[in-house]
Structure 1
Amino acid sequence: MRYTYNKDEKLKSQKAIEQLFAEGKSVSAYPLRMVYLDNQTQLKVGVSVSKRNFKLAVHRNRVKRLLREGYRLNKNLLIDNKLDHYTLMILYISKEMPDFKIIDKKMKALLTKFNDQVSNIEKNEKDT
């Protein structure tokens, strides 16, 4: 598996983002929160950092770079479990500037939690 974050994997569509926040479910591992929605096509991922928590664009961009890198290195947790048909938005909700060790650790926890939650939902749908 290649550890990439290509253009076709990035969540860019305003319509898809609006639908994600209107209809999506969430899972969190503080300081990260993920909103997800099953889209039945391919994996789309976006990252976001609140302007309220980080006033300077330099700081927001740094946190977004860390989030993208954390996702890129740990996305095998999604691909290996056949969860490559979701739209995801990863949000950083803390006010402190993180370092990569924290982001990496919490990203693993978040993706594992997401795997568990989605597998329980899919298991319940199969049973009914």
Structure 2
Amino acid sequence: MANIPEKLKDRFTFRKKERLCSKKLFDKLFSNGNSFLVYPLKVLFVVTEHPGDYPVQAAFAVSKKIFRKAVVRNLLKRRMREAYRLNKYILYNSTGDRKLVIIFIYIGKEIIGFHQIEKALKRALNKVSDNISKTIPNP
């Protein structure tokens, strides 16, 4: 694995403070955020100031229009959260002093397995990491 920050050395966790809950940050994300597609995920992210100890706040969404049953939506969100939990060090290595807000939206039409979701999420995290390290100089 890549060099993992000290906060994440012992355990791969996804704590409540790492979850994106703020309505203001959601609005800022959807109005000013950068987006790209890594099938089956659409990713929106923005570098911003948010209070908290963690440099990244993340959220996960699945369309109710495509997946009518809550059981299926929850399954897909759970798989995305687990993949993020195991691979979030990719983002943590590139954020530096910056704070990042990110949302992963599942846009696929069919239910896919964990390994496919993890593969797509890794590609997305690498793409976000490259994007923020290239475009935004570290203060």
Q: How many residues align?
A: 125
Contact 2:57 2:102 in 1 (8 A): yes
| 2:71 matched residue in structure 1 | 58
| 2:124 matched residue in structure 1 | 110
Is residue 32 from structure 1 mapped to residue 53 from structure 2 by the alignment? no
What amino acid maps onto 1:4 in structure 2? T
Distance in 1 between residues matched to 2:24 and 2:63, nearest whole Å: 20
What amino acid maps onto 1:85 in structure 2? K
Shift in Å at residue 81 of structure 1? 1.8
Query: Unpaired segments of 5 or more residues in structure 1?
Result: none
1:79 to 88, 92, 102: 92
Is residue 21 from structure 1 mapped to residue 30 from structure 2 by the alignment? yes
Query: Unpaired segments of 5 or more residues in structure 2?
Result: 1-7
TM-score (norm 1): 0.90
Is residue 48 from structure 1 mapped to residue 65 from structure 2 by the alignment? no
Shift in Å at residue 51 of structure 1? 0.7
Identical counterparts, % of pairs:
35
| 1:100 matched residue in structure 2 | 114
Shift in Å at residue 117 of structure 1? 1.5
Contact 2:48 2:101 in 1 (8 A): yes
Q: Which runs of 4+ in 1 moved over 4 A?
A: none
1:27-58 C-alpha deviation (Å, 9 max, x unpaired): 22111111011113432110000111101111
Secondary structure, in 3 states, of the residue corresponding to 2:12? coil
What CA RMSD, in Å, does the superposition of the two structures yield over aligned residues?
A: 1.8
Distance in 2 between residues matched to 1:57 and 1:79, nearest whole Å: 31
